[in-house]
Amino acid sequence: MSFVTHLQCPKCGVKYELAANPIFCETDGCEARIDVHYDYTRLKEVISKKVLKKRPLSVWSYFELLPINDRSNIITLGEGGTPLLRSQRLAEHLGLRELYIKDETRNPTWSFKDRPITVGVSKAKEHRATTLASASSGNAAAALAAYCARAGFSCYCFVPDSAPMGKIAQLLLYGAKVVRLRGLHKGDDPTVKLLREACKSYGWTPCPSFGPFNPYQAEGPKTLAYEIIEQLNWNVPDVAYVQVGAGGLLGGQWRGFTDFNTLGLVEKCPRMLAVQAAGCAPLVQAFHTDQDPFKIIPCDSPHSVAEGLCDPLPWDGDLALGAVRESKGSAIAVDDDAILHAQKLLAKYEGIFAEPTGVTGLAGLIDQLESGAQDPSEVILIEATGGGLKDQDVVIQRVTMPPVIDPDLQQLQNALKLQN
């Protein structure tokens, strides 16, 4: 039984019934996300610490807080339940008292995108859709391709021509039809443009990882916050550093923290720190120039080693910007050198190999520590949101390959000197 009361567009205020199966806001010219609303009074009767403690950690442990009517429609690969690691060596290196790392590289397709996509594909099954499509730089498309393979659905993925070949290979092996599109121009994303046109013309169901094109999958990232709270023994961090592209990860987590606060399971919510790549930082600009959350100025020429964050327009920017403001947080941009440094530190000190996109939050934390803006005594959360094997080219270009030697001790000594 669903606990959804209705869906509503936050921009124009139009309400929709869940049974109507809305995907887009039907108001002319309105391209905002439709938000899902729940009956928290009824939820308090079925959701408690005692109930949740009996369930294994996973996305679908929080079924009542997700927009699916029937459990038989769930398409899952075992997503969620990822480790929350208390850092030892990295925390000591950075001079922090308490640092936690949510390791989302452990998900089935090695990124947090499995959380929104399992919800989106499950809802598509509930609506008897069988052909799904996505606009993505790689991780969301990979997740959609995998879950469509699991469900037996057809999958079409529109990706930018800059997407790493490793990610494209992953899509093809899952059986997706992949369309590569020429680069971004003056804030216009060609993958989103073609997604919109193709879905309208062919009747495909859009299922990217951002909200304005599908309101259901946008609920998946909430489960990150739910898990973090349980793993911290019903506490919350003081501050969470979250990398931002389209904004759904940060905005979704904020919903998760506020959900548990509304249900009386925690007494507070963390400050949310939005971290973007300096080469594509429209949300940071919007925060510091007090822009209307529904009129964020897009980035003209996005570029960064964190390719997964190069969304010229943060499609869920209103949700993310609202979360930053409501939580009394902030928004910062970091350059590519800082991102690559963070990638190296996370691997060297904690044994977690994440892609550049997946460590940008850590780069933001380091930036704030160096500027004195972050209190090192606080409880701090960062997230490794995508595995490093997805984007190996970045690493290969920046390391010196070891020489090939004969089995000789002198050659061994010489070879090791080169790596000092």
pLDDT at 186: 55
Provide the pLDDT confidence category of residue 185 given band limits of 50, 70 and 90.
low
Please tell me the distance from the alpha carbon of residue 420 to that of residue 414, in angstroms, as a whole number.
10
Distances (CA, A) of 10 to 248, 315, 316: 15, 13, 11
Provide the pLDDT confidence category of residue 378 given band limits of 50, 70 and 90.
very high
Provide the pLDDT confidence category of residue 420 given band limits of 50, 70 and 90.
confident
Please tell me the distance from the alpha carbon of residue 276 to that of residue 221, in angstroms, as a whole number.
18
Provide the pLDDT confidence category of residue 394 given band limits of 50, 70 and 90.
confident
Residue type, 205: T
% of the chain exceeding 90 in pLDDT: 84
Specify the DSSP class assigned to residue 19.
G
For the cut 70, the answer to whether the pLDDT of residue 379 exceeds it is yes
pLDDT at 199: 95
pLDDT in tens, 139-166: 999 999 999 999 999 999 999 888 878 7
Report the range of poorest mean pLDDT among 303-317, 328-342, 359-373, 396-410: 396-410
* Three-class secondary structure of residue 333 per DSSP: strand
Q: Span 376-398, mean pLDDT?
A: 89
Provide the pLDDT confidence category of residue 333 given band limits of 50, 70 and 90.
very high
- A 10 A CB-CB count for 14 gives 15
Q: What mean pLDDT is reported for the chain?
A: 94
Please tell me the distance from the alpha carbon of residue 218 to that of residue 66, in angstroms, as a whole number.
10
For the cut 90, the answer to whether the pLDDT of residue 167 exceeds it is no
Q: Where are the domains of the chain?
A: 84-111+218-396
Provide the pairing of β-strand 98-103 with 84-86.
Answer: antiparallel
Tell whether pTM > 0.75.
yes
pLDDT in tens, 236-251: 999 999 999 999 999 9
Provide the pLDDT confidence category of residue 137 given band limits of 50, 70 and 90.
confident
Rounded to 5 degrees, φ, ψ at 4 are -75, 130
CA neighbor of 195 nearest in space, from 140, 250, 119:
140
Q: Which CATH number fits domain 84-111+218-396: 1.10.10.10, 3.40.50.1100, 1.10.10.60, 3.40.50.410?
A: 3.40.50.1100
For the cut 60, the answer to whether the pLDDT of residue 211 exceeds it is yes
pLDDT at 121: 98
pLDDT at 187: 60
pLDDT at 390: 79
pLDDT in tens, 35-63: 999 999 999 999 999 999 999 999 999 99
pLDDT in tens, 262-287: 999 999 999 999 999 999 999 999 99
Range list of β-strands (E), 119-252: 131-135, 154-160, 177-181, 205-206, 239-243
For the cut 80, the answer to whether the pLDDT of residue 210 exceeds it is yes
pLDDT at 184: 63
Hey, what are 98's tokens? 């308490």
For the cut 80, the answer to whether the pLDDT of residue 1 exceeds it is no
